[in-house]
Amino acid sequence: MPAMRAVSTPLLLCCIAAVTLQSCRPSAALAGRQDCFRIRDADERQLCIADYDGKRACDFIRSRDQRNYCKAVHGEGKTTCTLIADEQLRAQCTAKVP
C-alpha cells in the first residue's frame, strides 16, 4: 500500500478555492491535472479537472448550480449563469464570465 503524503499548503488553498467555486488553475496552486485527484470532494475535483479538460468535465458535477457555473466558465457563456439558483454564485458567475 502506498504511503500517504501530506497535502501541501498550495493544494489546500486550491481546495478552498474550489469550495468557493473559483478556478483551480495550475499557477502556483497545482503542478498539473494529476493534482486535482488529491481533492476529496467529487464536485470540487471536477471543477479543478475542468480547468484542464474543458467543459466535458463539468458534466460529472452533481450539484446543478456548480455544474452550470462550470459550463458557463468553460464555454457556454453568461446565459448559463442565469440558470444558477444561488444568488451569490450567480453574481460570481456573471462577474467571471466575459
pLDDT digits (tens, 9 = 90+) for 43-63: 889 988 998 888 889 999 999
CB 66 within 8 A of CB 80: no
pLDDT of 65 above 90: yes
Overall pTM > 0.85: no
Q: What is the pLDDT of residue 33?
A: 81
Q: Where are the domains of the chain?
A: 9-96
Nearest residue to 63 (alpha-carbon basis) of 39, 87, 43, 40: 43
